[in-house]
Amino acid sequence: MGNFKHRIVYQIWPRSFKDSNGDGIGDLQGIIGKLDYIKSLGVDTIWLSPIYATGNKDYGYDIDDYYKINPEFGSMEDFDELLHKSKNMGIDIVMDLVANHTSDQHSWFQEALKSKDSPYRNYYIFKQGKRNKKRELLPPNNWLSAFGGSAWQKDPNSDEFYLTLFTPNQCDLNWKNEKVREGIYEIMRFWLDKGILGFRMDVINTIAKKDGLPPAGKGKKLDFPFEHIVSLPKSHEYVKEMHEKVLSQYEDVFTVGEGMVTSLEDLNAYTRPEEKKLQMMFQFDVHLIGCGPLGKFDFRKGYRWTPKELKDLIIHWQTGVEKGGGWLGNFLSNHDQPRQVSRFGHDGAFRRKSAKSLALLNFTLRGTPFLYQGEEIGMTNCHLKEEDWRDFEAINDYRVLQEMMHLPKPLARKVIQKMTRDHARTPMQWSEEKNAGFTTGTPWMKVNPNCSYINVEKEMKRENSILSFYKKLIEIRKSSEALSTGSFVPVDTENKKVLSYLRQKGEDTYLIVINLSGSLAEANLMDVSAYNFKPVLCTYDALPFMPSMKLQPYEGRLYKV
Ligand code: NOJ
Ligand code: CA
């Protein structure tokens, strides 16, 4: 199977993948029923978004009990069955590890709430509130939560507040406490002992917080405390300890770190093999293109970006990680992002073309490729009305946009429609049957009406489908050392629309040429014209290589010497 650099990962967000019992909610038996489909893509690894017991305030990222399966998804027997069946098919399972916070229903937190002297109090981050001139009790500092509003919740039984950097029921753990760390390590051992391959680690670069919890930014209004929580030296230390005490005790544990706003230096420092921390990490710069400094709902740049900006970001990360000796997990979609054709491509006339080119991009970059359920059939964003929103982030930020940013309702609605995570969470479109074949019951969330023509069944029958393009691409990637681990060499870097690069290892050289724009473009490849390139996989016609090539909107081509 090769090592982590050779893997191809399929991400499942279980709630919206496939419902097996008609309750409208995707589940483990649903996944088991689709293993043949997943296998047919050519992937060898599944990452499951959280399937643990949860109150669903953040759909599984708020964990009540890390040793129990969410009963909506099934039982531990179902999980064991999934693990064994997939293993027999040559597919390994990666679980989500949420170690920055537990839910407020977790037994540690319930104990912590009982009194200020509870031994569990120190498992979390409690702090005395501040009094203003009127003697009103206010949160200890101005930290803003990632989902809007103060990051502090009042303890009902004291004058203290507890830190919740995400939803108000996701309580940040105190990683300074050795017992917390041991508790997390034990959870990891439990699942590794069961035979899972490894973990995708949720916001792993924010587990440490600056001592004393100083005010964020200028300290006046609510502000996100990037400088006090992102990739502090202590976070690196904790991950190193986790490696030493857990990961290194097992053979070849797959690890991918997720971290908001990771810098290049940090990503390299987390993933260089000699650091003994993580195997790879995601970066989000590409996903935040066109957003203001406060993140995805910061609309102040109007979500405007140019192909050249996207291209420069990709080149920056590709060359920077290669130079720095780290390793990336590459993805264009996940459960937190709008659908990739809608965000980076075109979800109208050029949907098929742009879906293929984006796939070509993701699978030929240096790093381990991840694909998210539905992208292999070119699923798009969905028109969602307020009553269709299911995500706390959308619902809360809608309010915050109006109250804090003074945005009129219609504009606030537009911002949410543009960026909500709900787009990624509409049910997987299996067929044109009722509810896209996702459930026989009432789906927990709106099904995109375009399932009448965007669905797996149709894609399977279609010639030149997006789906068959993915399968070919995955096969090519798997059989090529150059595409997996070779170096990335950008060419024609000044080109405003076309991203071109070589992937090289030993005798093997590939050339990838992608028009990132929705208009005609021209690639200038004089610099590499000495190579004898032959087309391997193209999104339009397989045209011969030329030192100067005209490209159609979103056209992508893969050549090989
Ligand atoms: C990142 C996860 O991907 C996202 O879904 C979640 O809301 C936050 N971390 C908090 O756990
Ligand atoms: Ca179900």
Render pLDDT for 521-539 as a digit per residue (tens, 0 to 9): 999 999 999 999 999 999 9
d(CA 386, CA 417): 9
Q: Can you give the pLDDT at residue 281?
A: 98
Quick: pLDDT tens for 430-480: 999 999 999 999 999 999 999 999 999 999 999 999 999 999 999 999 999
H/E stretch holding 41 reads helix 35-41
Mean pLDDT value across the chain: 97
pLDDT number for residue 403: 93
Distance 244 CA to ligand 2 centre (A): 39
pLDDT of residue 541: 95
What ranges make up the beta strands (E) of 164-298?
A: 170-172, 198-201, 254-257, 280-281
End-to-end C-alpha distance for the chain, whole angstroms: 26
Mean pLDDT of all residues in 29-34: 99
Instruction: Give the number of the atom of ligand 1 that is nearest the alpha carbon of residue 61.
Output: 11
- Selection from 123, 159, 161 nearest residue 145 by Cα: 161
Tell whether the model's pLDDT for residue 2 goes beyond 60: no
pLDDT in the model for residue 316: 98
Name the residue with the closest Cα to ligand 1, atom 6. 61
* pLDDT of residue 1 exceeding 80: no
- As a whole-number percent, the residues of the chain with pLDDT over 70 amount to 100
pLDDT above 70 (res 512): yes
Tell me which of 58, 199, 288 to substitute to probe ligand 1's pocket, judged by most ligand atoms within 8 Å of the beta carbon: 58
State pLDDT tens for residues 32-77. Answer: 999 999 999 999 999 999 999 999 999 999 999 999 999 999 999 9
Is the whole model's pTM more than 0.85, yes or no?
A: yes
| Residue from 103, 336, 370, 393 whose mutation best tests the ligand 1 pocket (most atoms within 8 A of CB) | 336
Q: What is the mean pLDDT of residues 209-229?
A: 95
Q: Model confidence at 404, in pLDDT bands (50, 70, 90)?
A: confident
The set of catalytic residues is 202, 258
Element (H, E) at 508: strand 508-515
For residue 58, give the nearest of 12, 6, 114, 98 by alpha carbon.
Answer: 98
Does residue 122 register a pLDDT over 80?
yes
Mind listing the pLDDT tens digit for each residue in 174-200? 999 999 999 999 999 999 999 999 999
Q: What's the confidence (pLDDT) of residue 306?
A: 98
CB 523 within 8 A of CB 490: no
* pLDDT at position 443: 98
Ligand nearest to the Cα of 74, by number: 2
Q: Check pLDDT > 70 for residue 352.
A: yes
Those residues with Cβ within 8 angstroms of residue 340's Cβ, 6 or more apart along the chain or in another chain: 332, 333, 355, 358, 375
Q: Which ligand is nearest to the CA of 393?
A: 1
For ligand 1, atom 2, the nearest C-alpha belongs to 202
Q: Residue 150 pLDDT more than 60?
A: yes
Q: How confident is the model at residue 261, as a pLDDT?
A: 81
Instruction: Give the ligand whose atoms come closest to the C-alpha of residue 14.
Output: 2
Token readout for 181 is 């760390």
* Ligand 1 mutation pick, 12, 96, 166, max ligand atoms within 8 A of CB: 166
Q: Give the residues surrounding ligand 1 with Cβ less than 6 Å away.
A: 58, 61, 98, 166, 202-203, 258, 335-336
372-400 pLDDT tens trace: 999 999 999 999 999 999 999 999 999 99
Burial class for 398, CB neighbours closer than 10 Å (0-12, 13-18, 19+): buried
- Comparing CA positions, the residue from 135, 115, 203 lying closest to residue 167 is 203
- The two three-digit tokens of residue 130, written as one number: 């501040």
Q: Using DSSP, state whether 362 is helix, strand or coil.
A: helix
Query: Residue 73 Cα, ligand 2 centroid: separation in angstroms?
Result: 6
